[in-house]
A and B are shown apart, each in its own frame.
Chain A
Amino acid sequence: MGWMPPSLRVTGSPRKALSNRQAGQGGAIVRNMTVISGRPARRVDRVAAFGAVVALAGCLLVPFAEFRANRIVSGAPEPLSSAGTAGWLLLALAVAAFGLSVAFRPAWRGRGILILGAGLVALMPWALGFAAVSLLIGAGSPARVSIGSGAWLVMLGGAIIWFAGARGLGRSRLKPVLAVAVIGLWVSSAVFGGVPELSLAREYAVQSTRFWGLVREHLMLSGLGLAFGTLIGVPLGALASRNNLVRSATLSVVGVIQTVPSLALLGLLVFPLAAVGLPGIGTLPATIALTLYALLPIVRNTYVGLAGVDEGALDAGRGMGMSKAQLLLRVEAPLALPLVLEGVRAAAVLVIGIAAVTAFVGAGGLGILVFQGWGQQADDLTLLGALPMVALALFADLAIRGVASVAVSPGIRQEEVAR
């Protein structure tokens, strides 16, 4: 297969090209096609290349950081060069990732892409810290440096490259090692680097006591919603799987609840609560609303999980003398568990997001920081509320996946078991 100008290359998925090549051994016509479309698999790693383009755009096209004379005035754009050497290093990593994903194909390409992606993500707080320190030299104490759109883009691009590298690598020891290294660099940048000089960190320093209280509130609200949602949703889903009437009623009601916008639901709750003499604002309506939202994924997945239990296993269980309770506990529940947990996981992520809105009815939580930030046009305060919510959602997701990996029998897990 000879070299040919890029303009002649027929695009098509690498896998298709490979199969053409294999099929090409059969006949001349197909072999001719091969000359045009056939090329080694994965000449261009499209995902990594996309990530590299995003990162390069972040480096070159948009401001990397923003300088403000004080907390609320709008910022002046600052380029990547404000981060000094660390900035150039980021640019070099992005260029290298682009080159590796598009042009070069060494044997270590997958690992290289992985390392470059992780490097972009890991270096980011250091680069921002350098930018903050250098920009703040000589500026007054009210001056702030915040994270610019460029830094976000570079981080996003780095994450995409990281993902692209991890995707092609299978099980590799390099992955956890890199994850630990990235976490280590982030933490060390907060301790030894310039991160505390960033506006976000300064905002945190001012709010720290309040911040952790709000995190606790947020966790409590979403935890209560999730707990009640699970306590009510799982039995409801189980009932739905036994009884057609319950099923159609339950699934449609929780479905309708899900379509009501969260603010509207909080507003609507005021009246029934007032009717029984309960407060329409505060933790109570927030918990009720979150519970209602948690219901749909949990009820639906419990129902689907139980309804999907193999009829043969049920017949065998009954035929061997299991009582209804034994059948439920020993056969149906473990078989439905993966789907139930998946429902709880979806509900957890949902509820952590919606809990932000309950700040409007005085239930507290990280939403307060977001809304205050908006009100004061203090973007970093908004971020201080928003970023931990994302982290909480990610953590809840990981935690429930972790529970599933332990609690679900290896006999019914998704991944392949060796024959």
Chain B
Amino acid sequence: MIRLDNVVKRYGDTTAVDGVSFEVPTGEVCVLIGPSGCGKTTTLRMINRLIEPSGGTIEVDGRDIMSARPEELRRHIGYVIQSVGLFPHLTVADNIATVPRLLGWKDERIKPRIGELLELVGLDPDEYAGKYPRQLSGGEAQRIGVARALAADPPVLLMDEPFGAVDPLNRGHLQGEFARIQRELKKTVIFVTHDVDEAIRLADRIALMRDGRLQQYDTPEALLDHPANKFVHDFMGADRALKRLGRVLVGDAMRTDIEVARILDAGDIDRDACGDARFVYLVDGNGLLRGWVDCHDLDEGRSIDDAVTEIDWREASVAPDISLKDALSTMIGLGFRSIPVTESGTLVGSITLSSIEATMTSSDSHITQLSGETLSSEEPS
């Protein structure tokens, strides 16, 4: 648990953070968001005392952060920054071992931990442990950054725009992986970003700040549906229904009870799979998605070649760890009403427009109170 109570930071006459209070329950992700200069990074950096607060109290797991030496405090708080800040002279393994070594862990305890962490962030330990940071891509480097922050298993994680410098495609992957890791580890996380979609996707709660003051602290749904003021409303943007889709993962919304036709050895397919459905997906003996079958054509006695449409799963399917919003975007791009869900090519389910619609309406039963006002088109930075 992280608790901020009336926290203030002054620089001379200017007040960067002005009486901010909120509480992040254990195991939740709080995203600090707001326009540039709103004090979100300052707030984050006060929690591990990289910036000393001018007033108020901050507690981490019930302990006042001022009660210990800052170095001691920081060794028990994971820290990830936008520029990653890997030490270029150390190997990946030594980078990850930084905090464990500061804490005086024995080597026999550190070594297996490095392998564990590399696997956790989806990198092959044998391949990556001995590499130097300059041999890594931006996405790989930030995975190592996250692994390094998690090395000593801190209960709390501070992340300052961790995916801000990564290209959009990789950012999506990293967000998905972060969400997966967080489901597994249940850390208490404070995550700074200026990207509303990222906030909505990852946050259990969002703290929206402006000019050093907290504007609203609540769940993403609440910020979308019940903005506390016009600033919150404008900042969250007009496409709230779409944004809400950004919170739902394909894997959670997909249908898994789908009909599948298999390719048989003789170059035929098992025609029995065609039940009531017009189309069924076609997989090979390994469960790899190969295309779909128009059962109608089969019924009318057309050849298999005519009835089967072959597709490449890399282009015409979505992964379960991306958001419904991204899936919808892919579907619109391809002109599909339904899209298969695959994990490395293996068919695991499907998403249809109607299922997306159902997700939207289930939480969109009300139009916000502010809908009558003239909405500002002012872009949040």
B7 to chain A, nearest CB (A): 18
16 contacts between A and B (CB under 8 A): A310-B83, A311-B83, A313-B88, A315-B50, A316-B85, A318-B50, A319-B50, A319-B74, A319-B85, A320-B74, A321-B74, A330-B87, A409-B88, A412-B88, A412-B89, A418-B135
Q: Which of B108-137 contact A (CB under 8 A)?
A: 132-135
Question: Are A317's CB and B87's CB within 8 A?
Answer: yes
Q: Which of A226-273 contact B (CB under 8 A)?
A: none
Query: Is A334 among interface residues, defined by CB-CB distance under 8 A?
Result: yes
Known contacts A311-B83, A315-B81; A321/B88 CB under 8 A = no
Residues of A within 8 A of B (CB): 310-323, 326, 330-331, 334-335, 408-412, 417-419
* A412 contact set on B, CB distance < 8 A: 88-89, 132, 134
* A315 contact set on B, CB distance < 8 A: 50, 81, 83, 85
Question: Are B98's CB and A320's CB within 8 A?
Answer: yes
* A321 contact set on B, CB distance < 8 A: 70-76, 99, 102
A238 to chain B, nearest CB (A): 17
Max chain B Cβ within 10 angstroms of own Cβ: one of A313, A331, A412? A313
Interface string of B157-189 (1 = CB under 8 A from A): 010000000000000000000000000000000
A227 to chain B, nearest CB (A): 26
Question: Are A411's CB and B133's CB within 8 A?
Answer: yes
Known contacts A311-B83, A315-B81, A411-B132; A320/B89 CB under 8 A = no
The 10 closest A-B pairs by CB, nearest first: A316-B85, A312-B83, A411-B132, A321-B75, A312-B85, A319-B79, A409-B89, A321-B74, A321-B71, A334-B89
In the bound complex, how far is the Cα of B85 from the Cα of A386, in angstroms? Answer: 49
* B86 contact set on A, CB distance < 8 A: 313, 316
* B102 contact set on A, CB distance < 8 A: 320-322, 326
Question: Are B132's CB and A410's CB within 8 A?
Answer: yes
Closest residue of chain A to B78 (Cβ to Cβ) is A320
In the bound complex, how far is the Cα of B46 from the Cα of A319, in angstroms? Answer: 11
Closest residue of chain A to B136 (Cβ to Cβ) is A419
B144 to chain A, nearest CB (A): 11
**Cross-interface CB contact of B84 among A316, A322, A326, A411, cutoff 8 Å:** A316
Interface string of B140-163 (1 = CB under 8 A from A): 000001001100000000100000
Question: Are B81's CB and A320's CB within 8 A?
Answer: no
* B81 contact set on A, CB distance < 8 A: 312, 315-316, 319
* A316 contact set on B, CB distance < 8 A: 79, 81, 84-87, 145, 148
In the bound complex, how far is the Cα of B132 from the Cα of A410, in angstroms? Answer: 8
Question: Are A331's CB and B87's CB within 8 A?
Answer: yes
* A408 contact set on B, CB distance < 8 A: 89
* A312 contact set on B, CB distance < 8 A: 81, 83-85
In the bound complex, how far is the Cα of B48 from the Cα of A276, in angstroms? Answer: 53
Question: Are B87's CB and A313's CB within 8 A?
Answer: yes
Query: Is B215 among interface residues, defined by CB-CB distance under 8 A?
Result: no
Query: Is B90 among interface residues, defined by CB-CB distance under 8 A?
Result: yes
A399 to chain B, nearest CB (A): 22
Question: Are A411's CB and B50's CB within 8 A?
Answer: no
* A323 contact set on B, CB distance < 8 A: 71
Query: Is B359 among interface residues, defined by CB-CB distance under 8 A?
Result: no
Query: Is B346 among interface residues, defined by CB-CB distance under 8 A?
Result: no
B155 to chain A, nearest CB (A): 15
Query: Is B352 among interface residues, defined by CB-CB distance under 8 A?
Result: no
* B70 contact set on A, CB distance < 8 A: 321
Q: Which of B55-88 contact A (CB under 8 A)?
A: 70-76, 79, 81, 83-88
B149 to chain A, nearest CB (A): 8
A363 to chain B, nearest CB (A): 40
* B148 contact set on A, CB distance < 8 A: 316, 320
Closest residue of chain B to A313 (Cβ to Cβ) is B85
A266 to chain B, nearest CB (A): 41
Query: Is B338 among interface residues, defined by CB-CB distance under 8 A?
Result: no
Query: Is B26 among interface residues, defined by CB-CB distance under 8 A?
Result: no
**Cross-interface CB contact of B91 among A317, A322, A411, A419, cutoff 8 Å:** A411
* B133 contact set on A, CB distance < 8 A: 411
B376 to chain A, nearest CB (A): 35
B183 to chain A, nearest CB (A): 25
Closest residue of chain B to A323 (Cβ to Cβ) is B71
**Cross-interface CB contact of A411 among B48, B75, B83, B88, cutoff 8 Å:** B88
In the bound complex, how far is the Cα of B132 from the Cα of A412, in angstroms? Answer: 9
Question: Are B88's CB and A320's CB within 8 A?
Answer: no
* B88 contact set on A, CB distance < 8 A: 310, 313, 335, 409, 411-412
In the bound complex, how far is the Cα of B135 from the Cα of A330, in angstroms? Answer: 21
In the bound complex, how far is the Cα of B98 from the Cα of A410, in angstroms? Answer: 18
Closest residue of chain A to B102 (Cβ to Cβ) is A321
In the bound complex, how far is the Cα of B84 from the Cα of A368, in angstroms? Answer: 57
Closest residue of chain A to B165 (Cβ to Cβ) is A312
In the bound complex, how far is the Cα of B102 from the Cα of A419, in angstroms? Answer: 30
Question: Are A320's CB and B75's CB within 8 A?
Answer: yes
Interface string of B94-112 (1 = CB under 8 A from A): 0000110010000000000
